[in-house]
Amino acid sequence: MNEVAFLGTAAPSIPQDHCVSIPNVSLPVIAIQAELEKWTVMPDERLQLLAKVKGQRIKIPDLMPVYAGWGEHVNPHWKRLVEIVDAKLDTLLSDQQKLAKLKKADFALFGSMSWPYADFHQLKIVTFLAIWLFLWDDEIDEATGSLNNSFEAAQVFRQETISFIEHTLDIGAQGIAPSPRNPIINSFRPVSEALCEAYDIEQRKMFFNETRFYIEMSEREQKTRLSGKVPTLQEYWETRRGSGAVGMCVALMEFATKTRLPTFVKSDPAFIELWDDMNIIICASNDMLSLKKEIALESIESFIPLACANNKCHPQLAVDTATEMLRTAVSGFDAAAKTLSSKCSDDAVLQRDLETFIEGCRQQCMGNHTWSLCSSRYGVNRLIQEDGSIEFLL
Closest CA to 104 of 85, 117, 123, 119: 85
Confidence at 43, pLDDT banded by 50, 70, 90? very low
Task: Check if the beta carbon of residue 70 is closer than 8 Å to that of residue 365.
Answer: yes
pLDDT level of residue 172 (50, 70, 90 thresholds): confident
Q: Average pLDDT of 247-271?
A: 95
Mean pLDDT of 284-304: 93
φ/ψ of 130, rounded to 5, equals -60, -45
State the pLDDT at residue 44: 61
User: What pLDDT, on the 0 to 100 scale, is given for residue 30?
Assistant: 40
pLDDT > 80? residue 8: no
CA dist 85 to 115, 117, 211, Å?
A: 15, 18, 22
Q: Can you give the pLDDT at residue 363?
A: 97
134-163: pLDDT as tens digits: 999 999 988 778 898 899 999 999 999 999
What is the pLDDT at residue 40? 47
Q: Is the model's pLDDT at 247 over the cut of 80?
A: yes
Q: Which residue has the higher pLDDT, 331 or 3?
A: 331
pLDDT at 37 over 80: no
Is the backbone of residue 232 left (phi > 0), alpha (psi -120 to 50) or beta?
beta
Of the candidate ranges 41-45, 276-280, 335-339, the one whose mean pLDDT is the lowest: 41-45
* CA pair distance 129, 136, nearest whole angstrom: 10
Which burial class, exposed, middle or buried, applies to 254 when counting CB atoms under 10 A from its CB (0-12, 13-18, 19+)?
Answer: buried
- The whole-number pLDDT of residue 270 equals 96
Q: How many CB atoms lie within 10 A of CB 154?
A: 22
pLDDT at 261: 96
What's the pLDDT score for residue 145?
85
Residue 188, exposed/middle/buried by CB under 10 A (0-12, 13-18, 19+)? buried
Confidence of residue 179 (pLDDT cuts 50, 70, 90): confident
Are residues 389 and 296 in contact, defined by beta-carbon separation less than 8 angstroms? Answer: no
pLDDT, averaged across the chain: 88
Tell me the average pLDDT across 191-213: 97
Q: Can you tell me the distance from the alpha carbon of 151 to that of 148, in angstroms, rounded to the nearest whole number? A: 8
Q: Contact at 8 Å (CB) between 140 and 148?
A: yes
Question: What is the arithmetic mean of pLDDT over 90-98?
Answer: 92
pLDDT of 28 > 50? The answer is no
Can you tell me the distance from the alpha carbon of 215 to that of 221, in angstroms, rounded to the nearest whole number?
Answer: 10
| pLDDT one-digit tens code per residue, 325-377 | 999 999 999 999 999 999 999 999 999 999 999 999 999 999 999 999 999 99
pTM: 0.86
What percent of the chain is modeled with pLDDT above 90?
78
User: What is the C-alpha separation between 318 and 26, in angstroms, rounded?
Assistant: 10
pLDDT at residue 174, rounded to an integer: 79
pLDDT of 268: 96
Nearest to 355 by CA among 87, 50, 117: 117
* DSSP structure class, residue 27: P
* More confident of the two residues 39 and 201: 201
Q: How many Å is the Cα radius of gyration of the chain?
A: 21
Averaged pLDDT for residues 217-221: 95
